Structure 1
Amino acid sequence: MRYETEVIIDLPRARVVELFDSFENLKKWQEGLLSYEPISGEPGQAGAKTKLLYQMGSRRTEMIETIITRNLPDEFSGTYDARGVHNIVRNYFHDEGEKTRWVLDSDFEFHGFMRIMSLFMPGSMFKKQTRKTMEDFKKFAESA
């Protein structure tokens, strides 16, 4: 399942990227993030792996982020792997003068039990969560 979401942030691209590219800021805009732990590579750089732990409702979810591309201020891409789910996320930051257009391209692949479960989960659920996360970042960034 692949989709694209975008949001306009009322800040120049340099400031948006500065706020986005900070482990310390993650908990300020990623709801449910409990911890992040570098596993290998240089944190924040291509090839680096980080374990992310989220509380989602009554369950905890562990995810492994692997950075694919770190070509800021233009692009930051990575994979996010959890039990039965592989997600490729490409973030693009476009300069719109005093604003920034953030485009997020997401491609989900489901395996095993999650492949079956995905048949019962509407794609709009994933888009809605992505939109909410992007709006949370926008709110955080514009008030920082």
Structure 2
Amino acid sequence: MKYSCTVDINLPIDKTVALWEDESNFKEWQDGFKSIEPISGVPNSEGAKSKISLEDNIKIELLETIILSDLPNKKVALYEHIHMTNTQTTRFKVLGQNKTQYISEVEYTKFNGFMIKLMAKLFPSKFKAQSQKWMNQFKAFAEKSNP
């Protein structure tokens, strides 16, 4: 399953990327975000691995591996969970002096277990809706954070 989402943010690209990349901000726009713990490598650089913990009704732990880090042009990360594996490509594009487009492309490459396979087959729009929700929440947070 593959999809993409976009949102336009009323901030210059450098401020947008800095807010997005700052892990201390994740709790501001990702529902249920608890923590990100470096496992190996330099955080946000190619090859770095981190454990991400989320909790929203259920506890979720993901292993993040940075495949490519070249922001604002492109950041590619692999996310592995007991029930699924996906790759997320993030890009930021200048739309104007104070306007940035945030683009996220997500590809799920593996689903483990009957229920998650069924959900992905019957409700693929739910996955995209969650990504778009977090992007919209990031937009609201970023625009509110601009002094």
Confirm or deny a common fold (TM above 0.5): yes
The AA in structure 2 aligned to 1:69 is: L
Is the Cα contact below 8 Å between 1:88 and 1:107 reproduced in 2? yes
Rounded to whole Å, the distance in 2 between the matches of 1:53 and 1:89 is: 17
1:87-112: per-residue Cα shift (whole Å, max 9, x none)? 10000100011200111100012333
Cα deviation, residue 3, structure 1: 0.5
> TM-score, normalised to structure 1's length?
0.93
- Paired residues in the alignment total 143
Is the Cα contact below 8 Å between 1:110 and 1:118 reproduced in 2? no
Is the Cα contact below 8 Å between 1:67 and 1:78 reproduced in 2? yes
Question: Which residue pairs with 2:72 in the alignment?
Answer: 73
Question: Which residue pairs with 1:6 in the alignment?
Answer: 6
1:37/1:65 CA distance change after superposition, 3 Å = same
108-117 or 16-25: bigger deviation: 108-117
The AA in structure 2 aligned to 1:47 is: G
Rounded to whole Å, the distance in 2 between the matches of 1:37 and 1:135 is: 25
1:60-90: per-residue Cα shift (whole Å, max 9, x none)? 0100111111101211110111112111000
> TM-score, normalised to structure 2's length?
0.91
1:46/1:143 CA distance change after superposition, 3 Å = same
1:30/1:119 CA distance change after superposition, 3 Å = closer
**Ranges in structure 1 where 5+ consecutive residues have no aligned partner:** none
Rounded to whole Å, the distance in 1 between the matches of 2:103 and 2:112 is: 30
**Ranges in structure 2 where 5+ consecutive residues have no aligned partner:** none
Question: Which residue pairs with 2:55 in the alignment?
Answer: 55
Cα deviation, residue 56, structure 1: 2.3
Cα deviation, residue 121, structure 1: 4.2
Rounded to whole Å, the distance in 2 between the matches of 1:116 and 1:64 is: 20
| 3-state SS in 2 of match to 1:95 | strand
Identity across matched positions, percent: 34
Question: Which residue pairs with 1:103 in the alignment?
Answer: 103
1:94/1:136 CA distance change after superposition, 3 Å = same
Cα deviation, residue 119, structure 1: 5.0
The AA in structure 1 aligned to 2:135 is: M
